[in-house]
A and B are shown apart, each in its own frame.
Chain A
Amino acid sequence: MADALVNLTIDDQPVSVPKGTLVIEAAKQVGVLVPHYCYHPGLPIAGVCRMCLVEIEKAPKLQVACSTPVAEGMVVHTQTAPAKSGRQGVLELLLINHPLDCPICDQAGECELQDFTFQEGRPATRYTPDFPKRFNPVEDFGPDVLYVPNRCILCTRCVRFMEDVAKEPVLNVSERGDRAFIGMHPAARLDHPWAGNVVDLCPVGSLLSKDFLHRARAWELDKTASICTGCSQGCNVTLDTRQGVVVRVRPRVHLGVNRYFMCDHGRANYRWMNRGDRLDAPLVRDPDGHRAVDWDEALARVTRVLEGASGSAVVLASPRASTEALYLARSLVARFAWTGAYELVMGEEAPLAGVPDLALRAERAPNSTGADLLGYTADYAAALAAAERAAVVLVLDAPQVVLRPAGALLYLGTIPLEDPETRARAEALLPVANVAEEEGTFVNRDGRVQRYFQAKSAPGMTQPAWWVLSALGAALGGDEIGSAADAFAALAREVAPFEGLSYARLGYGGELVARAVPA
């Protein structure tokens, strides 16, 4: 039963929203962004910054849109002189003690104080040089967070996040009046597993990530939608790249998965995407060692090996392998009696207490569910044992595997096999893309299939794993597959839980599979 709808007018546009909707949210629905700082849909309402002042007919004073619920027939004006003047007043007061740090502040280019000042602030200050600005030194809050008190606008988003979402109230507001600042008891550290979110939440450059400090300017960054590979939660993220290097990972909003947040483990988990010790070119094994070749020759070699083999096959996969790659690998070895497994690393679970069903999951793998649905298991030890005797061992980006296989060893990976003896036995070492260099899908622990997109070019002659595997499949008589979308389409046709899904349908929000556990 739908909530009763309330009809109101915002900037002369009619809008109908459920009862209880805040004016600031109703405004978004008609494309009106009311400038604000302390308000955030993922945090309890504070109503302290006073930035979101709007004029509401019949109300004697300006109202703050963030804590005013809609009413039937309400008429809201955000652009009238009193409203703009009120907001301009707030901006001026926020800036009197705010240092002119833009040239050295990480937030520049993605700073809401810059944005709204540019949009509706005063052109010049009336405060300096007459009065000195308040000064407090930078504070190290914890593992990744720096606090620059001079830039703080006391919106208290960080305090409210730690208190109400992380449920570890380790930040406070200390002192009062214009002496106030964000404080932390000396015995405490900001080391909660989800604490990094305060950096995202901070509208200005007051809370900063040490990892990202001075690494790039916001306007230099290309932003690409991706999925975190840190665990099976499947948090939606944005990969920020600068000149082809991933420099930052930030959460992307998904109300059904991670809401507005991601954990620090995932946040820090990106440097491997940039590593330089990659397989540059396809390598094939000759009697006197490996030789770099082109793809045609490499694929031809592997095809011959596969044609000449019979018996059992084992696929040893990375749990970061895409659903498409896992499916195509399975298709490739379908002619054999095959088993497949992935190595699942477990860690400590770290929930975000204030959000239901959100945690850094114990399974540190983004696609274990996808692998399960495709018939792979987590019994890696058994698979390793079987691999020693199999006719064909296909290793999919698991560089740490140590094998002395009786049969043919084929390796697709981002970096070379680490164990020299295992490497020496590989028939071919084929360079494949990592998650930042291709598009694909992962299935999270809830069974949600989510797309990730290509954020940077793959180095050297690297190709996506789906391309390599489908090329081999085609050479052995299978269908030609020209894109990741087509690979997924093929998967959806064959594997029951994925029935009816497609890249178009998945979009940015993903879809749940028909059932989470394979038949």
Chain B
Amino acid sequence: MGYPHTPHPRETLVLSKHFGEPEARTYRGWVKRGGYEGLKRALAMPPAAVVDEVKNSGLRGRGGAGFPTGLKWSFMPKERTKPHYLCVNADESEPGTFKDREIIRWTPHALLEGTLIAMHAIQADTAYIYIRGEFAEPQAILEQALAEARAAGVLGRFQIHVHRGAGAYICGEETALMNSLEGKRGVPRIKPPFPAAQGVFGMPTTINNVETLAAVPPIIVNGAKWYQAMCLSSPKSVGTKLFSVCGHVQKPGVYEVTLGFPLKDLIFELAGGMRSGRTLKACIPGGSSVPMLDRDESERCIMDYEGCATLGTMLGSGGVIVFDDSADMVYQVMRLARFYAHESCAQCTQCREGTAWTTRILERMLAGQGKPDDLDLLLDLSENMTGKTICVLSDSCAAPVVSAIKKFRGEFEAYLAGRSALVA
């Protein structure tokens, strides 16, 4: 569902307030909407004070890991003895996630302003916005906004460059992003060393997601307490989140709600519920790398970091993928496994070989040639692929496999029995 559209009354519009307004893309238009006020205030504060304000706000990384942003910024050296860098992670590639694209397309200045404030806070003079290669249109809009901001003198001594990726999901992993930026294959690095100590070009680096940075200017303008107050459930999950709802819903799109919002309402009220004659079967709440929920769990799930964890899944990137009863879960798990097999960087044995083998077992099962031991084999493979690799792509392949076998075992067994109850 594109913009402009009328926001749902239960949305809390902070980041998406101006989605759909073409004027908001321009520097003038953004200033008219209160833009760059946050930057002005932040620049008048010492960097450490900006870090504290963001720490106190409770903002957590919106890319998927949910790491407290202010805390991440505080890992940077307090004294700047060598160049510091900020990397903006605009590599949005997690299946089900399409919220950063909207931020960049509609409010690029929000991202630029947040970037500049972050640069001030971590004492970085140079920032690279790593944007995925497929985002040609958002990139053009962003470059235009950047040029306008530069012309208006907003950048000051700060340098922001846009760096285009070239088709690799793994470059959304922060250390792989850094390698890609350095002109190498986008493979993750072993940690330690951590980016704040030794990041891009060997220098102290912070990597932040687009949505995270876009949330920073309102926090500076309205204060940490304001952000903290936006909370519907767990006090450790505050502020608003852009949830990208997609799949089998009437009104797929990006919806901004306060954390702690019920998933059930997100699906049935905001996103218009099921298609005619269909019922909810499953939902992946945080992008394909998190365990999937069955119908009952989906209807109970509270959308914040802790609420999802209680149900054994994760808030992740907030990519809400909805499956109705027409979905063939076995086929979709195969398709997800194939995604991970395509995107594996090939460093770790478990990921390189395991994602491919998992895919093949599922393909064979779908072709009616599954074997009785296949489910145990898949679970065993998933166990080997979890917690033993440099990054979590391997674990991310295992998550849908394990959760689907657990919650939709009947569909798998139907394939093994040589028949399928559903049409793909």
Q: Note all chain A residues with C-beta closer than 8 A to B383.
A: 89
Asked whether A50 and B346 contact (CB < 8 A) given A97-B353, A177-B341, the answer is: no
Let me know if B80 is at the binding interface, CB within 8 A.
Answer: no
Interface pair A180/B352, CB less than 8 Å apart: yes
Q: Does residue B199 face the partner (Cβ distance < 8 Å to A)?
A: no
B377 pairs with A126, CB closer than 8 A: yes
Task: Kindly supply a per-residue 1/0 record for chain A positions 164-190, scoring 1 wherever the CB is within 8 Å of any chain B CB and 0 otherwise.
Answer: 000000000101111110000000000
Instruction: Check if A309 is an interface residue, CB within 8 A of chain B.
Output: no
Question: Is A93 positioned at the interface, with any CB of B under 8 Å from its CB?
Answer: yes
Contact assessment for A93 and B357 in the assembled complex, using a CB-CB cutoff below 8 Å: yes
User: Which residue from chain B places its CB closest to the CB of A49 in the assembled complex?
Assistant: B349
Partner of A96, one of B342, B353, B371, B388: B353
Q: A176-B345, A177-B346 are in contact. Are A131 and B360 (CB under 8 A)?
A: yes
Q: For residue B347, which residues in chain A have a CB less than 8 angstroms away from its CB?
A: 46, 48, 154
A108 to chain B, nearest CB (A): 21
| Size band of the interface chain A makes with B | 35 or more
CA distance A64 to B349 in the complex (A): 13
Contact A127 B357 (CB under 8 A): yes
Give the chain B neighbours of A46 by CB distance below 8 A.
347
Contact A47 B190 (CB under 8 A): yes
**A459 in the interface (beta carbon within 8 A):** no
Taking a contact as CB atoms under 8 Å apart, the answer to whether A178 and B344 are in contact is yes
A 36-61 to B, binary, CB cutoff 8 A, 1 in contact else 0 = 00000000011111110100000011
Q: Say if the beta carbon of A90 comes within 8 Å of chain B.
A: yes
A177 — which chain B residues lie within 8 A by C-beta?
341-346, 352, 355-356
B83 contacts the other chain (Cβ, under 8 Å)? Answer: no
Task: Mark contacts of A71-108 with chain B using CB atoms, 8 A cut-off: 1 yes-contact digit, 0 otherwise.
Answer: 00000000000000110011011101100000000000
B74 contacts A by Cβ under 8 Å: no
Q: B342, B343, B349, B384: which has the most chain A beta carbons within 10 Å?
A: B349
Report the nearest B residue to A90, measured CB to CB. B349
- Nearest A residue to B389 via CB reads A50
Contact of B364 among A62, A97, A126, A130 (CB under 8 A): A130
A90 touches B350 (CB 8 A): yes
B189: nearest chain-A partner, CB-CB: A47
In B339-390, the 8 Å CB interface with A consists of 341-350, 352-357, 360, 364, 371, 373, 377, 383-384, 387-390
* B409 close to chain A: CB less than 8 A: no
Question: Are A51 and B356 interface neighbours, CB within 8 A?
Answer: no
Docked CA distance A85–B342 (Å): 26
Q: Quick one: closest A residue to B190, CB to CB?
A: A47
B344, A48: Cβ atoms closer than 8 Å:
no
Q: Is B78 in contact with chain A by the CB < 8 A criterion?
A: no
Which of B185, B355, B388 neighbours the largest number of chain A CB atoms within 10 Å of its CB?
A: B388
Least CB separation from A97: chain B residue: B353
- 0/1 interface trace, chain B 217-236, chain A, CB 8 Å (1 if under): 00000000000000000000
* A-B residue pairs in contact (CB < 8 Å), sample of 23: A46-B347, A48-B390, A49-B348, A50-B389, A51-B349, A53-B388, A61-B388, A62-B387, A85-B384, A86-B388, A90-B349, A90-B388, A93-B357, A93-B384, A96-B357, A130-B360, A131-B357, A154-B352, A175-B346, A177-B344, A178-B346, A178-B356, A180-B352
Residues in chain B within 8 A of chain A (CB atoms): 168, 185, 190, 341-350, 352-357, 360, 364, 371, 373, 377, 383-384, 387-390
Which A residues are closer than 8 A to B by beta carbons? 45-51, 53, 60-62, 64, 67, 85-86, 89-90, 92-94, 96-97, 126-127, 130-131, 153-154, 173, 175-180
Instruction: Using A93-B353, A154-B346 as known contacts, list a sample of 17 further A-B pairs with CB atoms less than 8 Å apart, ordered by residue number in A.
Output: A47-B190, A61-B387, A62-B387, A93-B352, A96-B357, A126-B373, A131-B364, A154-B349, A173-B346, A175-B346, A176-B168, A177-B342, A177-B343, A177-B344, A177-B346, A177-B355, A178-B352
